[in-house]
A and B are shown apart, each in its own frame.
Chain A
């Protein structure tokens, strides 16, 4: 893995991010919907047409599309993503405030999924066909089948509305109230983790079974290594590679999954402003957030690739 390779990968990622931003920018302007008209029609209100026209003028929406695109690209090069059409709030501030929360949710969910999925998969593989194996395989099928918003809503219904053990949703900063922060994080993290935990369980289980069947495992046992050492050094290390690949792929999709989870639990991450911005046709906000998410996606993939190489040196040549 040379520096050149890394530079090429990063450059490619940046170009892809630019392509995504451009497509989003153009697509948003193509679909019907006028930000000025929408803002003044909030809640079904019936706005004055002249006021709408004035607002369009003020927001710079009367300029030709190419001029608007050029202004957007110019801003991007200066590191300026513009301001919201709705309240003039800088897009970068919004992203800076909310991105860490989305990341926290994804990381908490991923961690939870790894802590549950991987050990459960190892245990099930070692006791193949046993009661736990059969039970866990059934549960994972269920977890994969039930959509995340159903699980989310059920969690709220059970733990918040009925048992009143947990808050229904929302957010409070860690520094302000650590206990409440963690309580608020718990249910959404579980909702995020449930699909990934199921996938990791299955992947770990089958990768373990594959690895266990290898000759070198038999050899390792034969030469008298301790079972624990065989398991960790010979089986697990080899089994982890496909698990890492799957984890990498799924962390990307988790970004998408957070949209629903953040909505259901009122977790003020990046997804809610994105959703609201799309509805309001708040162009700069949508493009800015989508750009951030794409870069994040590309970044995660890059990191996963690097990790794979670290775990399995054979990947270096691939």
Chain B
């Protein structure tokens, strides 16, 4: 058979037309099979159940593991392996386990597994994220095989939320160290390091009718624009972290929808060991000097909200409109505060951020401009992220820009960023003096009465506005993009947005 030039050309031209139905057939086949293709922003560094390795890892971990409690669509704590929990008359937390929960190997979930898991988290050699919290547990008692009683060293009002964190899972107590066996709605069926993970539904999951999907295929797209292109071209059904600049395009696309909430926030951190930022008045001057709208516009394409107080989520009982604007934009006041602190003519300083993440760099640039307007000239230092972390931990900076999400929507979740008496970290100010804020946080943690807690945390906000352990700058929008036939997924409110992955057990194609 001879192939003429013409027939070859014709074949070449026809090829795309022949191939594209093939591609869409693949997609349709996967949807019909109940397998969702999900564009992940980062490959989980590892899937160790108790070690914090980021929110993308958290999404996968939440689906293959389970804890005593979890979050429902409205952001309320709900029972998972535990069907109920309460404080007993002696101030200990008692959890009742649900009947019939099984690990992926078919073993039942027992109180012994819960005890063992907590002991691993709190252990001497532990590298767990919740290590410090669980070391506050003095005794773990098992009155009967379905009940677990936690006696804490100090009263702990927010203990149940510890189990809601995606770094606190109950693992089968006889698991091999590198093969933790969980009780989540999906099983890990396969993975290729750095590229993709495949989950399949666990057929003996304790919630009847769940998960609704047969499986999830996680594909990693580290580049945000490619992740978005993958959604728009139909390569995947859903993506996390829709880039801010692409949110409008996703909203405008007939086939797609966007679910976004303002959860994580940007803030300024200080080095409190040396002048000028060891003076609360100077820190407060910074707080009043920055026009937050500019950050929302420049760094987040308008997809965010100014933050002029502590990062307390609007709509929660702890939110107070006046306190939420306690650091309103007021350059005259900022200048007056500087003068009061003895810096009427301003000063020169440095600001640490990272060029590796555009939002950090853009935020830093806006802050730099506004500080210059009140006489604070800062030189930007924009190393890579690893250097930024390293210098932050060691206090090698004057001011730093950071972006984070607190652990949950309870103000106690802010301890990790506000309590400057904790060990130095890149994510909180370095040895800034804020004794009254820290005392108020401790008081709130030990109080069980809701009305009193609300008052304590309002007071905490009041003193923090004066002590300035950090300066809030902006809430940033966190969006999930998906095709319109993806149903049942909810982006959880506020700080819980990074825990929304658990909603994939309720997700289906409709």
Contacts and interface: CB of A to CB of B under 8 A. Distances in A.
Interface stretch (B87-95, B145-153, B215-223, B485-493): B215-223
Nearest to A280: B45
Contacts of B384: 33, 279
Given A58-B125, A87-B46, A87-B193, A279 B386 contact: yes
A32 B426 CA distance: 14
Interface in B8-29: 16, 19-20, 22-23, 26
Interface string A167-189: 11111000000011001000000
28 contacts: A37-B390, A40-B53, A42-B52, A43-B54, A43-B55, A44-B404, A45-B54, A46-B417, A47-B129, A51-B131, A52-B127, A54-B126, A54-B127, A86-B46, A89-B193, A156-B225, A157-B229, A161-B229, A165-B20, A168-B232, A169-B221, A170-B219, A180-B22, A180-B26, A266-B219, A266-B226, A279-B356, A279-B386
Given A40-B51, A94-B193, A153-B225, A34 B390 contact: yes
A44 B403 contact: yes
A242 interface: no
Interface string B119-163: 000000111110110000000000000000000000000000000
Contacts of B53: 39-40, 42
Interface of B: 16, 19-20, 22-23, 26, 42-43, 45-46, 51-57, 125-129, 131-132, 178, 192-195, 219-223, 225-226, 229-230, 232-235, 264, 356, 383-387, 389-391, 393, 402-405, 416-417, 423-428, 498
Given A33-B386, A164-B233, A264 B428 contact: no
> Which of A50, A51, A89, A265 has the most CB atoms of chain B within a 10 A radius of its CB?
A51
A33 B45 contact: no
Contacts of B383: 32
A87 B233 contact: no
Given A45-B52, A168-B226, A268-B194, A38 B386 contact: yes
A40 B427 CA distance: 12
Nearest to A88: B178
Contact of B194 (A39, A156, A276): A276
Interface string A225-250: 00000000000000000000000000
A50 to B, nearest CB: 7
> Which of A33, A157, A265, A276 has the most CB atoms of chain B within a 10 A radius of its CB?
A33
B81 to A, nearest CB: 24
A221 B53 CA distance: 72
Contact of B226 (A37, A164, A265): A265
